[in-house]
Amino acid sequence: MSKVRRATHAGSWYTNDGRELSSQLDEWLSKAQPSYSPARAIIAPHAGYVYCGACGGHAYRQIDPSNIKRIFILGPSHHVRLSGCALTETSHYQTPLYDLTIDQKRRELSSQLDEWLSKAQPSYSPARAIIAPHAGYVYCGACGGHAYRQIDPSNIKRIFILGPSHHVRLSGCALTETSHYQTPLYDLTIDQKINEELFATKAFEKMKMSTDEDEHSIEMHLPYIAKVMERRRGQFTIIPVLVGSLSADKEKLYGSIFSQYLADPENFFVISSDFCHWGQRFRYTFYDKSCGDIWQSIEALDKMGMDAIEQMDPAKFSHYLKEYENTICGRYPIGVLLSAIDALRRNGNGRRMSFKFMNYAQSSRCKKMSDSSVSYASGALLMQ
């Protein structure tokens, strides 16, 4: 239901006649020059137009509306005491010309993320890496909150995001060629220096833009990253990595490459993965009837894999996948993380590492062979 803020100062601070107001604004704008255009921000007065309308025209004349989609308006509070900032709860602001629409999507997403994070406990914090799902938030947003709640953003400068490739065949890993990733909250900056270092190893391909934009396994983590890193906005970068279908040797290769970055406490790793995709539409219907209902069999199956991950044993996880063929879509990014941990262990650096899953969920509880579901799990890596 729409909720409109009335133009309560129209008729006193400025005219409430739309035609007269439009004419006044046109006149003030015409007398100004676009000498500092296209502006990205302006400072302009807010007194009655009879006093400051002409002055304001010089600021607004610098605006080129061609590519502007959103306008943030920051104004001081004159009538109530605030120790922070406040947002409107209305859907529209009324003017004598036409109503202006409030951007609700940004607030809605931010509110959703806040709610999911508030319901999780930082029981395994500060994490150095997480495994979290990448399905639609209606299915896995709450589960993902348990992983992202383990992040302490204080010292993080770089975030590596390893996501599986769903749409193109890759035998290795690929890096983005973009400079920024867009989110509804704010844009995230790609770390070009780290990309150059990774390209220098000759082990990474370049992602086509179409591949980059089609892939959801990385994008679904961006709003959560933007939210948990909000107070360090502009002080961190991201390194998105698209992971292909890797052989055991290549998992070790990439694990070795990323281990040096994992060792640095200023780096953080996000491993993107859903767990079992069960049902005829996924061509996977493993069912151990001794577990009970189908959904219970799926949970037992997933938790065997989660146990291998918690043991941080790449060989055990690989053996599990070969034996049960569980449809864990992020098995290769997980394999890279486990190989990176293994490389650090073999280097004998004295670090104590442990991994723990703190949440598990399913999109639905399957009871019939015609049902289907996808599983989600959130876990975190500690390094001391």
Query: pLDDT per residue over 258-274, tens digit each?
Result: 999 999 999 999 999 99
Please state which of the ranges 62-71, 97-106, 223-232 shows the lowest mean pLDDT: 97-106
Model confidence at 1, pLDDT cuts 50, 70, 90, reads very low
Q: What is the pLDDT of residues 157-193, one digit of tens each?
A: 999 999 999 999 999 999 999 999 999 899 999 999 9
Lookup result for tokens 């104004």: 75
User: Can you give the pTM of this predicted structure?
Assistant: 0.77
The dihedral of CA 64, 65, 66, 70: what is its sign?
Answer: positive
Residue among 30, 154, 172, 18 at smallest CA distance from 99: 18
Cβ atoms within 10 Å, residue 290 = 8
Omega prior to 65 cis, within 30 of 0: no
Q: What is the pLDDT of residues 150-162, one digit of tens each?
A: 999 999 999 999 9
Question: Would you state the pLDDT for residue 3?
Answer: 80
Q: What is the pLDDT of residues 38-55, one digit of tens each?
A: 999 999 999 999 999 999
> DSSP label at 289?
G
CA-based max dimension of the chain: 82
Model confidence at 351, pLDDT cuts 50, 70, 90, reads confident
Model confidence at 99, pLDDT cuts 50, 70, 90, reads confident
- For 95-150, list the strands marked E by DSSP: 100-101, 129-132
Model confidence at 350, pLDDT cuts 50, 70, 90, reads confident
Residue among 267, 211, 277, 266 at smallest CA distance from 243: 211
Query: Domain 108-383 classified CATH 3.40.830.10?
Result: yes
> DSSP label at 135?
S
For residues 250 and 339, the answer to whether their CB atoms sit within 8 Å is: no
Question: Would you state the pLDDT for residue 2?
Answer: 60
Q: Average pLDDT, stretch 209-238? A: 96
CA dist 113 and 148 (Å) reads 10
Phi, psi of 216 (to 5 degrees): -95, -15
Q: Residue 237: beta bridge partners?
A: 158
Given a cut of 80, whether residue 229 has pLDDT beyond it is yes
Which string of b and e fits 41-70 if b means at least 16 CB within 10 Å? eeeeeeeebeeebeebbbbebbbeeeeeee
Q: Average pLDDT, stretch 213-220? A: 96
CA dist 167 and 293 (Å) reads 33
Question: Would you state the pLDDT for residue 32?
Answer: 96
Q: Average pLDDT, stretch 300-306? A: 98
Question: Would you state the pLDDT for residue 155?
Answer: 95
**What amino acid occupies position 206?**
K
CA dihedral 275, 278, 282, 285 (to 10 degrees): 130
DSSP codes, 324-380: H----TTHHHHHHHHHHHHHHHHTT----EEEEEEEEEESS---STT--EEEEEEEE
From-to residues of CATH 3.40.830.10 in the chain:
108-383
Residue among 363, 287, 289, 353 at smallest CA distance from 324: 287
Q: What is the mean pLDDT of the chain?
A: 95
Q: Is 303 exposed, middle or buried (0-12, 13-18, 19+ CB in 10 A)?
A: middle
Q: Average pLDDT, stretch 24-34? A: 95
Q: What is the pLDDT of residues 105-138, one digit of tens each?
A: 678 899 999 999 999 999 999 999 999 999 999 9
Model confidence at 91, pLDDT cuts 50, 70, 90, reads confident
